[in-house]
Structure 1
Amino acid sequence: MIDTKKIVTFGEVLLRLSPPENRKLMQSKSLDFFFGGTEMNVGASLSFLGESVKHITAVSNDIVGDAAIYNMRQYGLDVSAVQKVNHPIGQYLLEVGSGMRSSQIAYNRLNGSFANIQKTDWDTIFANADFFHWTGITPAISEAAYQELKVALISAKAKGIQITTDPAYRSNLWQYGRNGQEVLKELVSLSTIFIGGVNEINEILGTSFTLDKEGFIEASKHLMTACPNITQIFDKIRTGLSASWQKIYGRAWVDDIYFETSELEITQVVDRIGTGDAYAAGLIYGLRHYDTERALAFANAACALKHTILGDVNLVSVAEITEVMQGNTGGRIKR
């Protein structure tokens, strides 16, 4: 295990509220809550896998912010650089779907604590770090979040840190005046590992590549030409038969070689939130410990297992993921 270097993650922490037992909000008299957020989910999953992770964010200066910090500490995250600001923590309400009924989400994060993040000493934060992870959600939140991320990426790049990005484009988040596609292309250009596929490349570059294998390869080549710092591209393909029944496999384009995993089937989904984050965490862990092919398989297995875990974070071990990689998907009781 690599225990002399740390991973840094940067992004918003949200309070997730959900009616229990797959109920709709109108049916429920109570709400379960979890703390999550895509970058924190990645960091917490990596911490659970045994990695040293420092998460950078801003939370509310109240009991909710205190609870968020306590929750992150429980996951083993280093929260020494988390800011507390006088704005409420972002929230979202999730109605968990089942079968043919889709899950639904409503956000309440405008002008929240993370949108008002203050300047950060990134050179100090990146001391002894070898990976930095960000997503396209972060620069969409506010001008302050965008500027901090840009400074972080410049600092990480100068230090030779591997920079992983899941450049998720959410058009409804970009409300403060900047063009999302332009910003994402700029920030992806400062990164080294792209966790996304044809849809993300088309959105960022304004292209129209097809979703099949050949389209993925051509899109990957085009992205590497447009953003020469990108050296590895990893994608996750999902087939949703219903809200409760999913199939996934991973594919990659690295060193002019195409990689693809076998497909994993999840027939009883417990929680889809955070499955992409589990994939990213599994990939980062895999890239630090394995070759490309095994890292991709590890990411896909981690993603599949997250579908069986309630909450935002993938609370599974390296051993559990390895078992699924080896084809042990029967779920037999262990005594």
Structure 2
Amino acid sequence: MNETVTFGEVLMRLSPEGNKKISQSNRLEFYFGGTEMNVGASLAYFGNEVKHVTCVSDDIVGEAAISTMKRYGLDTGSVVKCNAPLGLYFLEVGAVMRSSTIAYNRAHSAFSGITPGMVDWKEVLAGSDWFHWTGITPAISEGAWRTLEEGLKQARKNGMNVTADPTYRKDLWNYGKDARKILAGLLEHSTIFIGGVNEINEILGTDHSGDKDGFVKAAKELLNRVPSLTKVFDKVRNGGNASCQKISARAWNGKEYLETEALEITHVVDRIGTGDAYAAGLLYGLQHFDDEKAITFANAACALKHTIAGDVNLVSADEVMQVAEGHISGRIKR
């Protein structure tokens, strides 16, 4: 059994019911989520052992977040607490040509106050095989960046597989450090890259095109410049509008180019967490299948998340495999 460790902020999401705008509603639904936690929870639903490391508020909201993580099947034994509020974000779910809109309230959150030394990485990572991180965590605060860096160094010292999804969110980098330099440094402690041409261009300062040839050239240059990385996996989205999306996956595994057929989602229920669902599907796929089957599984997992309300992809590995094998009619199961 592969044990995976994820590290990142847990947020409370607040949304009006359905597709309403906040200005026309006096009721908000809430969910707990967060990029890395979403990945871990999805993996736990697939049957994997997953430990999520984070810092939550030392109050009833933080306790509710921990309770939710436990319900998802996550090991919360390494969660720490502090006297600061849990981060929030507000979401208005769009429809058709109206885009979804997000407003964050996380600048002084519990997680932003995490510092090296609050997490005993040697103990946390003992016996684990995989470590997953994203570019959101080091963007939150210098303490979060340094804590992640410490964990990555220990993970590589332990010989673990390290998957990096270095998502660049410009608006989050507010503590005066060079995002490109930090992300590039963290990649040196990683083995698998989850991202596309845009992410590679941002980190390397290149201008590769987004077509097949551009992706392969970008991936080859990334692997050449960051020797610890061995493979590059990308999710491709072609959205007609907020309610209709088409997704596929592609990869350069150091030897050959791989791609999946596109899956069309004609009625999007919730787009939040779809990239996290892809990452979770990929991790599960890499742990159980070859690269080609892994990206097919990941793409199917991503597609299914579009049909699930909330941040987490609450589906089993068997449900994903059904879609991966072409069973997409949505017929009632009796």
Which residue identity does 2:64 align to in structure 1?
A: A
* Map of 1:20 onto structure 2: 17
Who is 2:262 aligned against?
263
Tell me the CA shift for residue 255 of structure 1.
2.7
Find the counterpart in structure 1 of residue 111 from structure 2: 114
CA distance in 2, matches of 1:128, 1:21: 43
Q: Does 1:180 align with 2:179?
A: yes
Aligned to 2:92: 95
1:156 CA displacement: 0.4
Cα distance in 1 between the residues matched to 2:321 and 2:100 = 29
Question: Match for residue 291 of structure 1?
Answer: 290
Counting aligned pairs with the same residue, the percent is 59
> 1:164-203 to 2 correspondence within 5 Å?
164-203=163-202
Aligned 1:48-63 pairs, distance under 5 A: 48-63=45-60
SS in 2 for 1:94: strand
Alignment match, 2:315: 316
- After TM superposition, the score normalised by the length of structure 2 is 0.99
Equivalent residues in 2 for 1:186-335, closer than 5 Å: 186-335=185-334
CA contact (8 A) 2:87 2:105 kept: yes
Q: CA deviation at 1:318?
A: 1.1
Is the Cα–Cα contact under 8 Å of residues 220 and 254 in structure 2 kept in the other structure? no
CA distance in 2, matches of 1:70, 1:117: 20
Give, in whole Å, the separation in 2 of the partners of 1:227 and 1:24.
44
Provide the rounded CA distance (Å) in 1 between the counterparts of 2:226 and 2:124.
Answer: 26
| Mapping for residues 120-139 of structure 1, pairs under 5 Å | 120-139=119-138
Alignment partners' CA distance in 2, 1:328 and 1:224: 35
What secondary structure is seen at the aligned counterpart in 2 of 1:332? coil
1:39 matched to 2:19: no
Q: State the alpha-carbon separation in 1 of the partners of residues 242 and 165 from structure 2.
A: 23
Cα distance in 1 for residues equivalent to 2:162 and 2:33: 21
For 1:129, what is the secondary structure of its paired residue? coil
Alpha-carbon distance between aligned partners in 2 of 1:202 and 1:143, rounded to the nearest angstrom = 23
1:86 Cα deviation (Å)?
Answer: 0.4
- C-alpha separation between the residues in 2 aligned to 1:15 and 1:227? 35
For 2:23, the aligned partner's letter is M
Q: How far apart are 1:221 and its partner, in Å?
A: 0.6
Question: How many angstroms does 1:319 deviate by?
Answer: 1.1
| Structure 2 counterpart SS, 1:250 | strand
The normalised TM-score by structure 1 is 0.98
Partner residue of 1:73? Answer: 70
Task: Note the alpha carbon deviations across 1:112-143, whole angstroms, 9 max, x for none.
Answer: 10011142110111111110000000000001
**Alpha-carbon distance in structure 2 between the residues aligned to 1:211 and 1:78:** 38
Gaps of 5+ in 1: none
Unaligned runs of 5+ in 2: none
Give the 3-state SS of the residue equivalent to 2:228 in structure 1.
Answer: coil
Q: Could you tell me how far apart the structure 2 residues matched to 1:32 and 1:204 are?
A: 37
